[in-house]
Structure 1
Amino acid sequence: MSARTAERSRRSKIVFGNSHMLDMRFAIANLKDDEFTAPELTRALGVTATLVYTLLARLTEAEFITVAGTVPGERTVLYRRADPEAFRFALGLEARLEKDNAA
C-alpha cells in the first residue's frame, strides 16, 4: 500500500468510520451521470462487490443516494445521487488530499 493510499484510508476511517467510504464517495462524485450501478463502482474501485453493496446500503440509509429502479431488461439495481452537496464535499476532500500530497 502506497503512502498516499494509506493516508486516504486513514482519513476515510476517521471521517466516515470505514477505510473505503472516502474512495466510494470520490467514485460516485466523479461519475458522469447521476444514476449508477454497483458493478460500475466495483470496477472503478477495484474492490469486492460485497464491500460496494455494504457501502451503498450505508449511503442509502443516510439518504445520500436513493434506489432509482433497475437497469432496463436486467435485475441490476440503479442508484441515484440524492444529496449533491455531500458529493461536492467528497470532491473537496479529494482536492485537499491532492494538495497535501503535492506539498
Structure 2
Amino acid sequence: MSNVSKVTAATFEAEVLGAELPVLVDFYADWCGPCRGMEPALKDVAREYAGEARVVKVDVEADPELQTRYGVQGLPTLLMFNGGDVVDRITGAAPRSALAAVIEKVLDEKK
C-alpha cells in the first residue's frame, strides 16, 4: 500500500509513539469488510498529508496486544496520535472527509 505502512508491536513505539509527525493508526483485520472498504480513503489522506502526518495500519490478528492496550473493541478503529498520545478516535468505517478532519485538527493545533 503506497504511503500507508504496517506497524507491529515491535515497531509501534518507534514508528508511532516516537514519531515527530502526527500519526493516524488504522486498527484493522483482513477479514473486516469495512476495513477493506476504507483503504482507498486511507491511501488518499496518506498521499495528501505526506510530510505533515503519517498513516499506518495495525493488524489486530497479528498484534492483539496493541488492540488491548488501546481499548480497540470494534473494527475499523482509527486512533490519532500526536507526541505519543492518543488525541482522537474514530470507531467504524468513516469517509475520507472524517479522516482528513482528524488530521487537520491536529495540524491546526500545532500551528
Using CA pairs under 8 Å that are at least 6 residues apart, name the structure with larger relative contact order, 1 or 2. Answer: 2
TM-score normalised by the chain length of structure 2: 0.30
TM-score normalised by the chain length of structure 1: 0.31
Greater helix share, 1 or 2? Answer: 1
Structure having the higher Rg: 1
Greater strand share, 1 or 2? Answer: 2
